[in-house]
Amino acid sequence: MAEAVAANSVESKQYIVVVLGSEHYGVDINFIDNIVRMQSITRVPKVQPYFEGVINLRGEVIPVMSLRKRFGLEPDEVTGKTRILILKPEAQGSIGIIVDSVKEVLTLANDNIDKPSAKGIDDDKANFLTGVGKNGDELVSILNIMEVIQDKEEEE
């Protein structure tokens, strides 16, 4: 479905808008496999600090990271709205990211997305974004998923 829509409108893409604190982020819908409620997470020792651990999703073991910790924000406060976005960037290999809540599906035309300007956003985070989209009055930061889930600095 999602692909069909994307194909029809050449210039626009669909995004899932998630909320993190007071900010809105958009995740390309093509990456998303599933959205699940918060569930018990098994901690894995000695991994990157922003990884919360692993969960069992229908028999698959999937690592889960906290987007808040990844962005250096306050730790998550689990509420009824907390969700885990299951992303599937590659055929084999899923990863979950924890967000405060999921808001809506948004269709954004490509020309409605501004490339991130170097100013105003701190460098660390700038890499994680591909641009900023305008949704009415709100601004939605479009996440660069591959950048978020891959750990360049520590891999070396």
Partner 1 sequence: MDVSQYLEIFIDETKEHLQSLNEQLLVLEKEPENADTINEIFRAAHSLKGMAGTMGYKIMQEVTHKWEDVFSEVRNGKMKVTPDLVDVLFKGLDKLETILDNIINAGNEGDDKCEELIAQLIGFVNGGGAAPAAAAPAAAPKKKAPAKTAAPAEPAAVATETKSEDSSKEKFRQFKYADFEQHAINKAIDEGTNAFGITVYIQESCLLKAARAFMVFKKLEEMGTIAKSEPAVQDIEDERFDLDFSMVFLTKEGADRVKQAIMNVSEVECAYVSALSKDEVESATIKEESAQTDSGAADATATATENKPTATQNAAATAGKPVVNRSVRVDIEKLDDLMNLVSELIIAKNGLVSLNAQQDEVNHAVGNAMGPQIEYLERITTNLHQSVMKVRMVPLESVFNRFPRMIRDVSKSLNKKINLVISGEETELDRTVIDEIGDPLTHLLRNAADHGIETAEERAKTNKPEVGTINLNAYQEGNNVVIEVKDDGNGIDVEKVKRKAIEKGTISKEQSEVMTDKEIIDLLFKPSFSTAEKVSELSGRGVGLDVVKTNIEKLGGDVEVRTVLGGGSNFIVRLPLTLAIIQSLMVEIGTEKYAIPLGSIQTIEDIPVSDLKYVQSREVIHLRGSVIPIIRLNQILDIESTKGADDNLTVVIVSKGDKLAGFVVDNLIGQQEIVIKSIGKYIESPKMISGATILGDGEVALILDVNTLV
Q: Which region among 77-85, 86-94, 98-106, 111-119 touches partner 1 (by CB under 8 A)?
A: 86-94
Instruction: Compute the distance between CA of residue 48 and CA of residue 79 in angstroms, rounded to an integer.
Output: 24
Alpha-carbon dihedral 57, 38, 128, 133, rounded to 10 degrees: 110
Nearer to partner 1, 45 or 120 (CB): 45
By CB under 8 A, the residues from 125 to 154 that bind partner 1 are 149-151, 154
Alpha-carbon dihedral 95, 123, 117, 110, rounded to 10 degrees: -10
Q: Which region among 1-9, 10-18, 56-64, 103-111 touches partner 1 (by CB under 8 A)?
A: 56-64
Position among 3, 90, 104, 124 found at the interface with partner 1 (CB under 8 A): 90
- Our CA angle for 21, 27, 32, nearest 5°, is 120
By CB under 8 A, the residues from 2 to 41 that bind partner 1 are 40
Cβ-contact 39, 11 below 8 angstroms? no
* Binding footprint of partner 1 on the chain (CB under 8 A): 40, 42-48, 51, 53-56, 59-63, 65, 90, 92-95, 149-151, 154
